[in-house]
Every structure is written in structure tokens, then in C-alpha cells.
Amino acid sequence: MSFSTLGLSAELLRAIADQGYTEPTPVQFQAIPVILAGRDIMAGAQTGTGKTAAFTLPMLQRLTPGAGGGKRGAVRALVLVPTRELAAQVGESVRHYGKHLPLTSAMVFGGVNINPQIAQLRAGVDILVATPGRLLDHAAQKTVDLSRVEILVLDEADRMLDMGFIHDIKKVLALLPKGRQNLLFSATYSDDIKKLADRLLDSPALIEVARRNTASETVAQVAHPVDRIRKRELLAHLIKSGDWRQALVFARTKHGASRLAEQLQKDGITATAIHGNKSQPQRIKALADFKAGVVRVLVATDIAARGLDIDQLPHVVNFELPNVAEDYVHRIGRTGRAGYSGEAVSLVCVDEHKLLTGIERLTNRDIPKVVIPGFEPNPSPQTTPTPTPNAGRGRTQQTRAPGQSRDNRDKRAGHGARSAPKGGENQSAGLTKGR
């Protein structure tokens, strides 16, 4: 099966070929014809399966007959995303795939000067990729016109719900016309997402190319039991002995991520950190240096669990397991993308055993445990208190490790951190359909 059988235009097929792709992924094969037909869709697919192109390509084609509409100052397609990194990734895809088409696009997100964004919007754009907080800032200043949006895309919708964006989403929906096409994409396919879809979508086509919360089969997973105090030493050993040239390492906290990057530097391993306390220019530089091979290790918090698209990334390391099992799926989804193989390594100390069990239960998969010679864990260490439930989310919230604080995620995508609303599992209540 090739892209030429999906009904895409010659200009889009040329752009796809320029990117080196020849065959659509399953989600692209299923979604593109349905979107081209003008239907709403609800698509659930594990991360790394090509969801971005699955909506970008048909969106570009549907907008092309009326290209130039953005020059009148009205946005014709709106893509809402939860983080700056994902906004940059989607915006890049729109530019690459639309380079042979007479369509304009822009990205708006926080953490950067708003004035250049205002200038772009006033010049007119057909396609706008935005984080909810900064988009509402523009709406309040009347620098964006959403009254003629023809296509709305909610990308990583589950992440937006987790980050407490439901109220912002409702405000954005109130600014949009009812007669539009709605496309909902989600890495995981939870009951909360179904509630959102029921209120937003009109007779949607349901596309699910993988079981819920499953990791890609192209990712080899392994857990190395080790004492907490020797994790950094073991990580350095794995990198050096395996001659790893590129590894994305996840830590729980912003402070922990920065400290680990500094320690790896002292071990003779080039490393940098990316997290919510970094400015947007710092985050852009860190990611660019990592992609270019200037640094071997990028240490990140869960802000990077989605939205980082790194070609053929070979290694992802959970230096600390995430507090929420679903985040493990998103983390390791940074490798094994687009059909390439990858390795996900977890360094697990005794007080993380319950976290690992929760991950295995969620993914319905036993992760092999391999003790590295010389790093055998103490057979009788002290453990931390057992996990406690997080009643507001409908998800299991695990206890933090000793001496560590919760990583306050970049919930407003550049507007500073804020607490998610209580009662998260009911946050979609009250949404009206988009039509």
C-alpha cells in the first residue's frame, strides 16, 4: 500500500516523497480517507505511529481549494496541543507537507514574546497550531479571529485533560463556529477521552490501531534492579560500556534532571537537561544539541514524554519510574518510532517495585528484569511508604521517592505552572457538540 492510493494530491505526494516516506502507517491508512471525506474522527493510536501526518496531510488537502482564506485574517484550521514541544513538532510537519501548497501557517505558545506572533496573525494564516493558554491570550487581545475555523484538531487530547486544560478548551470551543470538522487524536484511549468525544464529535469514525496503553512492539524493554544511590553510576556504566551515542533519560523532577545532567558531565558524558523551568530558547537549544549529537544524553522530565520527535532515537532510560503508569508508555514511545527499533531501559530500586508492577499491569506485559554484574541491589534495603490513590483523577498516584518533590509540569505551556482542577475525571462534563 502506498500514499498514492489514499486520494492525496500530487503536491502532497511530492512533499511526502521529499520526506523519504513511501508507505502509510496503519493510523494514516485508516484516517486519511475518512478525514478527506469530511467526517469527524476519534483516533486512538500508540505514540510514534504517525498520528501527526494522519491529520496534517488530509487537513492540508481539504483547505487547498480555498487557499488564501487566511489572508483575510481568519484562521481556517486550528490544531490545539498541550505543550510547546508538540506545537513545534506539529508546526514543522505542516510546513514540510504543505511546502508545495499556497497555504500559510503559524504557531503560538507561551514562554516567548507575543509580539512576533501578533504580527504573523495579522498578516493572516490558514492553519494555526496553538497551546490553549497562549491562544486565549490572543483571543483576549483580539489578535486572532477563530470565527471561520473549518477544521479543529485536538492532538494528544488525553494529555490536555491530564494537565487541566478542559476549561480552556471549553473557552476555545465557544469562539469557534458550529459547522466544522472535528478530529480528536489521543496517544491513549481512556474513558475520559470517550466522554470528551461524546460531547464534541458528530457521528465520528472510530479509529483504534492498537490496544489502549500498549507500548510499540518495536521497543525492547528491560528493567535493571539497582540500589537508588547507585543509579547514576549504573547509567554511566551502561552509556560507556554500550557506547551509546544518543540516550533520552527521564527523571521525576526538574531539579533532579538538572543535577543528573551535571553529574553525567562530571563522569565525562556530554549531557544537558530540558524541563519546565528552562526558557523556550534554552529548551530549543538543548533539543537541537541533542539531535545534532553535540550532547549524548538529554535528561528530561515528563514535559518531554510527548512532543519530542527524534529520528531513530536508539535509547530511552527511565532513571526514575513515573508516578503514573500511563506516562511510562509515553516516555518509551520516544523510541521505536516510524517502524525503527529502539530500547527502553528502566533503573528500578526497591521502593519502585510497585510502580513497575503497575506498569506491567497497565501494559499487560512482563518486563524482563536483568541484574547488571557489579550493581547487584542490597537484598534487605529500607522501603518508602506504599502508594496512595489519587482520588481526583481516576488514576493511581504513586508515592514520591524520599527527598524528592513532585515535578510541577508545564501546565500552561509557557504561562507558568498551575494546579489542575479537582475532579479531573468529570472535567469533560458540560461540553457541547462542536457542530
pLDDT tens, residue order, the chain (435 aa)? 789 999 999 999 999 999 888 889 888 999 999 999 999 999 886 666 788 999 999 999 999 875 444 445 589 999 999 888 889 889 999 999 999 999 999 999 988 899 999 999 999 999 999 999 999 999 999 999 999 999 999 998 888 887 888 889 989 999 999 889 999 988 766 677 778 888 889 989 988 775 555 555 678 899 999 999 999 999 999 999 999 999 999 999 999 999 999 999 999 999 999 887 887 788 888 888 988 889 999 999 887 555 566 777 889 999 999 988 888 887 887 776 655 678 999 999 999 999 999 999 888 889 999 999 999 998 776 655 434 334 333 333 343 343 343 333 333 333 333 333 333 333 333 333 333
Inter-residue long-range contacts of 372-378, CB under 8 Å, 24+ positions, other chains counted = 372/224, 372/226, 372/234, 372/237, 372/238, 374/237, 375/224, 375/226, 375/227, 375/230, 375/233, 375/234, 375/237, 377/225, 377/226, 377/227, 377/349, 377/350, 378/227, 378/350
pLDDT of residue 163: 80
What's the CA angle centered on 216, arms 36 and 206, to 5 degrees? 35
The architecture in CATH of the region 214-427 reads 3-Layer(aba) Sandwich (3.40)
Cell numbers at 46, concatenated? 500508540
pLDDT of residue 337: 61
Question: Which of 69, 72, 26 has the alpha carbon at shortest distance from 46?
Answer: 26
**57 and 36 Cβ atoms separated by less than 8 Å:** no
Question: Which of 97, 96, 94, 113 has the alpha carbon at shortest distance from 105?
Answer: 94
The architecture in CATH of the region 3-208 reads 3-Layer(aba) Sandwich (3.40)
Backbone angles phi, psi at 19, to 5 degrees: -85, -5
What's the CA angle centered on 199, arms 195 and 203, to 5 degrees? 105
Domain ranges in the chain are: 3-208, 214-427
CA–CA distance, 340 with 194 (Å, rounded to integer): 30
CA–CA distance, 32 with 257 (Å, rounded to integer): 39
**349 and 226 Cβ atoms separated by less than 8 Å:** yes
Cell numbers at 19, concatenated? 520526506
DSSP assignment letter at 319:
S
At a CB cut-off of 8 Å and minimum separation 6, what does 33 contact? 6, 7
CA 118 to chain centre: 26
Q: Is 252 left (phi over 0), alpha (psi -120 to 50) or beta?
A: alpha
Tell if the pTM clears 0.75, that is, is over it: no
Question: Do 214-427 and 3-208 fall under one CATH topology?
Answer: yes
> First and final CA of the chain: distance in angstroms?
34
At a CB cut-off of 8 Å and minimum separation 6, what does 384 contact? 351, 399, 401, 402
SS3 73: coil
